Amino acid sequence: MVKGTPTMGLRGRGKKLHIACRRCGHKAFHISRKVCAFCGFGKSTKLKKYAWAWKRRDKR
C-alpha cells in the first residue's frame, strides 16, 4: 500500500522523454520534440517564463 499516486516506476521506465536542458538546466528538454518544456528552448529563442513553473521549482 502506498500513499498518494504511485507513478514512480511507471515513469522513467523505458525511454526517457526529458533530458537536462542546455539553456535552463532543468530536466525538461523533450528529446523527440526537441523543445524544452521549461524555458521553450528549441521552440523560441526567447526565454519562456511561467509563474507556475517557477512556483513549482520554488516548492521543490
Work out whether 21 is an interface residue with Zn ion (CB under 5 A): yes
Q: What is the DSSP letter of 45?
A: S
Work out whether 38 is an interface residue with Zn ion (CB under 5 A): yes
**30: three-class secondary structure by DSSP:** strand
Work out whether 36 is an interface residue with Zn ion (CB under 5 A): yes
Please name the residues in contact with 41: beta carbons below 8 A apart, sequence gap of 6 or more.
Answer: 21, 22, 23, 24, 29, 35
Among the listed residues 8, 41, 43, 54, the single contact to Zn ion using CB under 5 A: 41
Work out whether 39 is an interface residue with Zn ion (CB under 5 A): yes
Binding site for Zn ion (CB under 5 A): 21, 23-24, 36, 38-39, 41
